[in-house]
Amino acid sequence: MQAVEIFQDNAEGWETLIFLYNSALKKVGTKLEILNDEFVHIHRYNPIEYIKSRIKSPESICKKLKRAGHDTSLENMVCHINDIAGIRIVCSFTPDIYRIAEMIGKQNDLTVLSIKDYIHHPKESGYKSYHMLVSLPIFLSDRVVDTKVEIQIRTIAMDFWASLEHKIYYKFEGNAPDYISRDLKECSEIVSMMDAKMLQLNQAILEAKAQQYLD
Catalytic residue among 75, 102, 150, 165: 150
The per-residue pLDDT for 3 is 35
Phi, psi (5° rounding) for residue 117?
-95, 90
The dihedral built from the CA positions of residue 181, 186, 189 and 195, taken in this order, carries a sign that is negative
pLDDT of residue 1: 32
Give the span between the Cα atoms of 127 and 166, in whole angstroms.
10
Write down the pLDDT at residue 170. 67
**Confidence (pLDDT) at 201:** 94
Domains and CATH numbers, the chain: 3-159 (3.30.460.10)
Answer whether 27's CB lies under 8 Å from 136's CB.
Answer: yes
Whether 38 is a known active-site residue: answer no
Q: Phi-psi bin for 165: left (phi > 0), alpha (psi -120 to 50), beta?
A: alpha
Q: 73, exposed or middle or buried, with CB in 10 Å at 0-12, 13-18, 19+?
A: middle
Which pLDDT score, from 0 to 100, does residue 2 have?
33
The pLDDT averaged over each successive group of 10 residues in the chain (215 residues) is: 41 84 96 94 91 93 90 87 96 95 95 97 94 94 91 97 84 74 92 95 89 75
Measured CA to CA, the distance from residue 90 to residue 96 in angstroms comes to 9
pLDDT at 5: 38
Give me the pLDDT at residue 12, please: 76
Measured distance CA(26)–CA(52) in Å, rounded = 11
Structure confidence at residue 14 (pLDDT): 83
